Amino acid sequence: MKIVRIILLVLPLLFWSCDKEITRSIEEELPYKNAIIIGSNPAGAKIYIDGKNTGQVTPDTVLWLKTGEVKVTLKIDLYKDSSVTVSVNPKDTLQIFLDYTTNKTMFGHMYIDSNPRGAEIFLNDSSTNNVTPFKIVNLMPGYYRVRIKRSEHWDEEKIIPVKSIATTYADIQMTDSIYWVNLNSHRTDIPTDYLTSVAIEKGFIKWIGTLDKGLLIYDDRKWTLYDMSNSLLPDNKINYIYIDRVNTKWICTDYGLVKIENDKWTLYNTGNSGLPDNRISSVYNDETKIWIGTYSKGVVTFDGTVWNEYNTQNWPLPSNRITYLTQTWNAIWVCTDNGLLKYSDSTHIRVLNSANTMYPSAKSGCGFPTNKLITVAIDKIGKAWVGCARDDDKPGGLAYEKLVYFRCFPGKPSEEVFSIYVDLNDIKWIGSSANGLTKCVTSRYSETWTHYNTNNSKIGSNRIYSIAVDGNGHKWMASFDGGLIKYKGN
Amino acid sequence: MRNGIVLLLLLIISLMAASCEEDFNLKSDYKPRYSLNCIIRADTSQHTAVITRSYMVPGFDPYEYTDDPFVSGADIRLWYKDNVFFFRDSLIGREDTSRFKFPQKIYYLNDFTPVENDFMEIQAVLENGKTLQATTRIPRRIKWDSSSTFLLPIPGADKFDIAWLKNNNIGWFLLRLQLIYKRDGINSPSESAILPVRYDGDTPVFPQPTKNSGITFQWSAFERTIKAISENVQDKSKVIIYGVTVELLVFDESLSKYYSNLNGYMDDFTIRVDQNDFTNIEGGLGIFGSYIKQVTGMKIQSDYIHSLGYGVPN
């Protein structure tokens, strides 16, 4: 009995002594590899799960989804968002596919208007057989190329977005082609908008110099390009183009002078001729000899046999840097960076500059604006019009001969006057660095100025380097950033 | 009978002793845990993230483990203004190869520059489906307090302050002032010296992360530093002093809590924890945070520079 008592006493001790409390962390349950394969037509829809962007786009598989109901939303640019709730479980891999193209609730509309109205509407190059204003309904969302055409106006083209269940309004401004025609690289096949010179052959063929693409010919139908790769041109930068009375073309470059006589090309440079400088600024043919202006060696003449140099050493040239030369009224006019030389014959030579062209009584504001001459033209009564460049802090501008002195217009039409053309009606057409085309009509005591610039007209550029007039009296302008510009006005 | 009782007791006591015996192992069962670390900087477009797993070492020295703890194949995405950015993985060179002999693996994100006060979320899904995620908000830029000194020296003062205006009461900051100089004329390379707030004997004491809105620098510490740069320089006039750049890191809430837990107390109930224990990653360990760096300059008067025998840039 005693033994039994002892055992009963000790046994609980045995179990109690080994008793210990154990805490165990809960086993972490890894997620199931629940997945949905999601596709769409068109592809590329952003996939949202329960309102959260996954960063994935269709077609793709979204993994590690929670078990249970999941809201899948697809978003694609311009289309209405689409959502579906699906039940996800580890046993089945769901597949979702949304075909937007067969869902009519995705359609959108486009309303096209134009100024002026009545333009024919083309959608992605196909005619709609409708004219503006017109509403095109039930279009699939997307970006549409809309082109409108109207007589006497430039075709206009725009990319118009169409969204689901919405109407996109497009109001297109059209540009008239009655007075202004801008032949730039956006509208035509012209290879560059940076032009330096224009001259006209036979009243309609335009010869155009470019900054870096060579020589262009435009006959109102097609562009023909001559450059260093397919011609004798020594450089693709053309300084000046001159066409003489027998239609010989003279192309001035920084690497010599090119003569194009019929289809025969001849290159003159310091290596094969009497030219003292390859940098040619201008040229003139007085039918006895060619007068050539160079950028550092003065004037050169060539009579077909003999080359003669005229520079500050042997001629009253104010500078050897010739910017332009021409002949009219039996005188050669030579623009330099230090004044203007008028040469009639060896006994009638006059150097004009800002000091000696000023009215004696004037304190300022008369005479040449600066001595940096860029261009000269002679009007119907034999008076000279000169264009000047800026000279340090002095603005250039325009000046013209009045009696024996010059009326001057510093900063007018802008600080640099690149070209002056006198038409048959003695109207002066002036191209400048920042004010487009300027028309100047003079009376006995005053001038009437009309400026055509990008703010008040359809002219495509404010930077007009060169002006020529065709057989119809249309002005053609080489602009430095807007291509070739035609003005039909008078 | 008595002997029998004694024998029985001995038997029971032996049983008790044997029944309680168990093998004791200091290491518990190995269960991998994952750590995501990513700090987004608002002053750069390149960001990195690293995911590592815990590991078991043969003995008790963690440095015995030389395998790569980097977790590859994770899908890391960062949400920012309804845009999702994906991290890619890559290798970079490892400077210290004493333990790990192979290049460092990282996840990287390029061309992402967040803006102050913007919210971000990161989520890393490992190959086994394990998800680690966290959020942060880029801290807002601070304004310098007008009591700050941006022209040295202050006549008669034995200290100077750099102070800023706090945007909230939980943000922490790290300030660094660097003296910019050239040691051997204008064509020598630029060098810099970090300015301590003071010296403790010969030991410089540098600014530590702080939740205060300013730090006071002892002028004597500045002088000691600027004089020390010409040690071993024969011609002191060739030393050119450019000035001091003032860099302030403004930490987001997560990083601020991290530094607070390591260095101080958020409130009366907060206890300090070990560096490895702090985390704001849901589903794992590590930290996802952000900071912005603001930099300005401090000028040093030419007269003072000349008085030390140094030069100034022309």
pLDDT band at residue B30 under the 50/70/90 scheme: confident
Spatial separation of the C-alpha atoms in residues A89 and A409, rounded to whole Å: 86
B83-86 vs B75-80, strand pairing mode:
antiparallel
* Helices of type H across chain B: 2-20, 219-228, 253-263, 302-307
Specify the DSSP element, H or E, that contains A13: helix A2-18
How many alpha carbons fall within 13 Å on the CB side of residue A278? Answer: 13
B173-182 vs B240-251, strand pairing mode:
antiparallel
Spatial separation of the C-alpha atoms in residues A180 and A170, rounded to whole Å: 24
Count the neighbouring beta carbons within 10 Å of the beta carbon of residue B45: 12
Q: Where are the beta strands (DSSP E) in chain B?
A: 34-41, 47-53, 75-80, 83-86, 88-92, 104-109, 119-125, 131-137, 143-144, 151-152, 159-165, 173-182, 190-194, 198-200, 203-205, 214-218, 240-251, 285-300
With CB atoms and an 8 Å threshold, state whether B4 touches A3.
yes
- For tokens 């900051």, the residue is B173
Contact residues, chain B, for A11 at CB < 8 Å: 12
Question: Is B189 a residue whose pLDDT tops 70?
Answer: yes
Quick: pLDDT tens for B235-248: 889 999 999 999 99
Residue B25 to chain A, least CA–CA distance (Å): 15
- Which chain A residue is nearest to residue B125, measuring alpha carbons? A64
With CB atoms and an 8 Å threshold, state whether B16 touches A17.
yes
Partners of B173 in beta bridges: B210, B250
Q: How far is CA A318 from the centre of its chain?
A: 38
- Which chain B residue is nearest to residue A33, measuring alpha carbons? B129
Would you state the structure tokens that stand for residue A356, as one six-digit string?
A: 């000696």
8 Å CB contact between A392 and A347 = no
Q: How much is the pLDDT for B266?
A: 46
Q: Does B102 touch chain A (CB under 8 A)?
A: no
Q: How much is the pLDDT for B272?
A: 52
Flag whether the ipTM exceeds 0.85: no
8 Å CB contact between A132 and A152 = no
B102 or B302: which leads in pLDDT? B302
**Nearest CB to A17: which of B20, B86, B129?**
B20
Would you state the structure tokens that stand for residue B28, as one six-digit string?
A: 């518990």
Residue A161 to chain B, least CA–CA distance (Å): 23
pLDDT per 10-residue tile (average), chain A, 490 residues: 60 56 59 88 94 94 91 94 91 89 91 94 93 95 94 88 95 86 90 96 94 95 95 97 95 97 95 96 93 96 95 95 91 95 89 87 74 95 93 92 86 94 93 96 87 92 96 94 92
Burial track A197-218 (b if 16+ CB lie within 10 A, e otherwise): bbbbbeeebbbbbbbebbbbeb
DSSP assignments along A82-107, one per residue: EEEEEEE-SS--EEEEEEGGG-GGG-
Q: Which of B252, B260, B254 is nearest to B291 (CA)?
A: B252
Q: pTM for the whole thing? A: 0.60
Polymer length of chain A: 490
Phi-psi region of A456 (alpha: psi -120 to 50; beta: other; left: phi over 0): alpha
Residues 57-86 of B with CB under 8 A from A: 77, 79, 82-86
Test mutation, B20, B78, B121, chain A, max A CBs within 10 A: B20
DSSP assignments along B25-47, one per residue: -SS------EEEEEEEETT-S-E
Q: How much is the pLDDT for A416?
A: 95
Q: What type of residue sits at position A317?
A: L
Would you state the structure tokens that stand for residue B41, as one six-digit string?
A: 């900087």
Q: How much is the pLDDT for B46?
A: 92
Residue A65 to chain B, least CA–CA distance (Å): 9
Test mutation, A28, A33, A57, A81, chain B, max B CBs within 10 A: A28
8 Å CB contact between A114 and A158 = no
Q: How much is the pLDDT for B21?
A: 58
Q: Does B129 touch chain A (CB under 8 A)?
A: yes
Contact residues, chain B, for A28 at CB < 8 Å: 31
